[in-house]
Amino acid sequence: MTRTAFFISDGTGITAETLGRSLLSQFENAEFNQITKPYIDTLDKARSLVGIIEATAERDGVQPIVIDTIVDQTIRAIVAEAPAFQIDIFSTFLAPLEVELGAHSTYTVGRTHAIGQDEVYMHRIEAVNFALDNDDGARTHQYEEADVILIGVSRCGKTPTSLYLALQFGIRAANYPLTEDDLDDNGILTLPASLARHRHKLFGLTIDARRLSAIRTERRPNSRYCSLDQCMQEVEQAQALYRRFNISYIDTTRFSIEEISTRMMNETGLQRRFSPR
C-alpha cells in the first residue's frame, strides 16, 4: 500500500520536508506519495488544506501522514482537525526546550531559513559565485583563493558537490575535469601545472564505470564519450593518478551529494564557515 505523506508549514516547508523525508526513509519496504505544502499561513489556506487531506484519506482508504512545522497556533489547530496521523515537529520539541531553558519560544515563522546575519548570507552568495566561476576548470588562476579543488572524470559529481559545499558551508570549492588533454606523451594521466602547485587542496572523486556510462548516455547517447570501455579507461587512469600523487578520494557511486561533501570535509579536516540552515 502506498501512503500519502504531507509536509506542511506556514513558512518554506524546507524543515518539515527535510525531517519528514529523513523519517520516512527509515521504512524501506513502504511506499510514500510525498506532498509538500508550504506557506499555509492563513485560516482559509488551512481550511482548504484540511479539505485536501480529507479527500486524500477517502481516496486512499487510509489516513494520510501529516508532518508539520506550523508555528501559528490558530492555523495549527485547524490542521489538527484533519483525519490524519499527525507529527507536529515544533510542538514536540519546543515545549521541552522551553522547560529546560526557562524561556518561551518566540514562535516566529521562517526563522530557520531567513537571511539572518547579512555577513553570513553574503558569504554564502560569494562562495556560490566562486563555485560557478571555477566550475569545470574554467578559471584555474583563482585556485589560490580556493578552499578545496575537486578533481575527477567528467560527470562524476564535481559540480553539484562544489555548489552544495558553497551553499551549505560557505566553502570555496573549485573543480577540474580530468580529460585526455591531461595525458602525457606516454598516455599516462598527469597533473597539469595549475593543479600541481595546489596539490594540498586537491580531493578526488571517482565513480563506478558502469554507472558513469549510464549517466553519460543520457547526455550523449551512442558516443565514444559514454561507451563502457571509455568510461573504464578514464576511471582507472584517474584512480591511478590519485594513488600516484597520494590524493585522497571518494567513490561517489552510492553516496548522495550530502554524504560526499561531509565525508570529504571529515577526511580533509576542512572547517565549515557556518552551520547549514
- For residue 152, say whether it is annotated as part of any ligand binding site: yes
Report residue 224 as a C-alpha cell.
Answer: 565514444
According to the annotation, is 158 in a ligand binding site? Answer: yes
Which three-class secondary structure state does DSSP give residue 252?
Answer: coil
Q: How many CB atoms lie within 10 A of CB 22?
A: 9
Q: Are 5 and 30 in contact (CB under 8 A)?
A: no
d(CA 158, CA 179): 14
Residue type, 250: I
139 is annotated as contributing to ligand binding? no
Residue 40, C-alpha cell as written in the block: 499555509
Which letter does DSSP use for residue 220 in this model?
S
* Distance in angstroms (rounded) separating the CA atoms of residues 252 and 238: 14
| Cβ pair 19, 13 in contact under 8 A | no
226 known member of a binding site: no
CA 223 to chain CA centroid, nearest Å:
30
Residue 13 among known ligand-binding residues: no
Task: State the residue for C-alpha cell 560569494.
Answer: 126
Strands 173-177 and 148-152: parallel
User: Binding residue per annotation — 201?
Assistant: no
User: How does DSSP classify residue 31?
Assistant: E
Is 277 annotated as ligand-binding? no
Residues 166, 143, 272, 114, CA torsion sign? negative
Residue 79 burial (CB count, 10 A): 25
Tell me the C-alpha distance between 196 and 154, whole Å.
19
153 is in an annotated binding site: yes
Residues comprising the binding site?
152-159
Residues comprising the binding site for ADP?
152-159
